[in-house]
Structure 1
């Protein structure tokens, strides 16, 4: 009983340490003062000003558009890449996996400068396209690493059995393989989406005139002081992602429950 109590206290302290900054941010998003350390009464004015601030709204627009497009495209590419890597023979598979680890282990600054150099070399004009391509390139290895464990857990003979029963390879892939690895695909998509929203270094080196995201906008604001509107925006983003995760987890739990009832 004592050990269980200690474990609960330890777990509580860990989560408190992780989420205390976010809790403070949420609380001060309702602060009537611009000060980040003094409470001066409750207000919603920062949320009202958020929707009047064109600079932040434009940065949010580009952030979400690039995050959605890059997560969708990197998930599609990463899913087929993971399936291809899983089907490779021993030595080739190890070589490709090690190549896939490199962008993950590389410092972001190396990837950012490399992409910037590549775009300049092939004379691509910096802007929305270069930022989108850089985010896709950055996210694909993480998607692959999210899907590969699910492929290893899957019975490798399922697709073969489906094709023996008359299914085409594409039909077996669509109806057998992808449903089996769907949790990994969803995890990879969420990781790609989060990485895109969070990214600063890759975006900073590969952005163009008139195209920016929230991380770059907040960085530029830091020189003259962070506007409390950012606290309001961060609160809305945190709550939205929390609701999204709860919905995804509830659907996953329902699917597992349905499979259990069938079995």
Structure 2
């Protein structure tokens, strides 16, 4: 009787709601169909974007042979790598402070302050950063971009790391302390190895965020430090061309691939975490 009653009482499943599947397809099509069209027309042989005349890689070749585009791409990668390193280091320290530092007064306010770039409109961040740099006379080209991107990317890098620390808990670290391991040794041999998936996922998200950023780069960049999104914006002032489609396709593929890698790395895997922590916990005192 009780078993039959439990089988009849099931949580409501939105997937079985009438019309939900069609509505989902419409939303997905609205979001991703323009991207598919952009990718398709980036292989168009015709100079006119909307007139298909045949398949061609000509525009990708034009992009690869354009010195200005290569320079803008190099600036984007350089700024992205440096900002990723700095923001990830700050994110590691912040995540450890929030998850392993114990409760403290003003913790919620501090966490909200770190996450503020996710809430505040990016245009506000870009304008205030430009005003701040101008007011102190800080005009150092790439360094301005790196600092601005670092501040903006910290929450993106911190979220996967903080989630990883919250997922693994403190059981492995407590086991190391039971074996009389010192805090630094426990961190290096237990906590840090277990944080690696979160660190890698956070670093990838930070790099993608920096690589794709436009508003902050547009406001802060100076002559000779134009990033690729800003350069594409300048090209679009003359109209959308197949070269713009080709550049956008390249950025889309790179961003999607890195986001997929970050997702796969950050997936919870308690069995793998336990296996990777078994040896460090046992050797924390050696």
Task: State if a TM-score over 0.5 links the two structures.
Answer: yes
1:27-78 deviation digits (Å, cap 9, x = unpaired): 1011112222211222111011111111111111111111122122211211
1:138 aligns with 2:142: no
**Which residue in the other structure is 1:63 paired with?**
76
Change in 2 beyond 3 A, CA 1:158/1:93: farther
Whether the 8 Å contact between 1:218 and 1:226 is mirrored in structure 2 is no
Whether the 8 Å contact between 2:201 and 2:266 is mirrored in structure 1 is no
State the SS of the aligned residue for 2:106: helix
Q: Work out the CA distance in 2 between the residues paired with 1:143 and 1:38.
A: 42
**Map 1:193-212 → 2, pairs under 5 A:** 193-212=207-226
Q: Work out the CA distance in 1 between the residues paired with 2:229 and 2:260.
A: 25
Q: After alignment, is 52-61 or 179-188 more displaced?
A: 179-188
**Which residue in the other structure is 1:24 paired with?**
37
1:219-241 deviation digits (Å, cap 9, x = unpaired): 21222113312222222333344
Change in 2 beyond 3 A, CA 1:190/1:12: farther
Deviation of 1:179 after TM superposition, in Å, equals 3.1
**Which residue in the other structure is 2:110 paired with?**
96
**Map 1:200-239 → 2, pairs under 5 A:** 200-239=214-253
1:162 aligns with 2:176: yes
Q: Which has the larger radius of gyration?
A: 2
The one of 123, 133, 148 aligned to 1:119: 133
Whether the 8 Å contact between 2:205 and 2:259 is mirrored in structure 1 is no
Deviation of 1:183 after TM superposition, in Å, equals 3.5
Change in 2 beyond 3 A, CA 1:137/1:260: closer
Change in 2 beyond 3 A, CA 1:141/1:247: closer
The one of 45, 49, 66 aligned to 1:36: 49
Whether the 8 Å contact between 2:208 and 2:258 is mirrored in structure 1 is no
> Considering only aligned residues, what root-mean-square deviation do their CA atoms show, in Å?
2.9
Q: After alignment, is 56-65 or 235-244 more displaced?
A: 235-244
Whether the 8 Å contact between 1:85 and 1:96 is mirrored in structure 2 is no
Q: Work out the CA distance in 1 between the residues paired with 2:141 and 2:72.
A: 13
Q: Work out the CA distance in 2 between the residues paired with 1:100 and 1:257.
A: 28
TM-score for the superposition, normalised by structure 1: 0.85
TM-score for the superposition, normalised by structure 2: 0.79
Number of equivalent positions: 261
The one of 104, 107, 125 aligned to 2:121: 107
The one of 72, 87, 93 aligned to 1:74: 87
**Which residue in the other structure is 1:153 paired with?**
167
1:51 aligns with 2:75: no
Deviation of 1:204 after TM superposition, in Å, equals 1.5
Q: Work out the CA distance in 2 between the residues paired with 1:78 and 1:128.
A: 22
Q: After alignment, is 64-73 or 117-126 more displaced?
A: 117-126
**Which residue in the other structure is 1:185 paired with?**
199
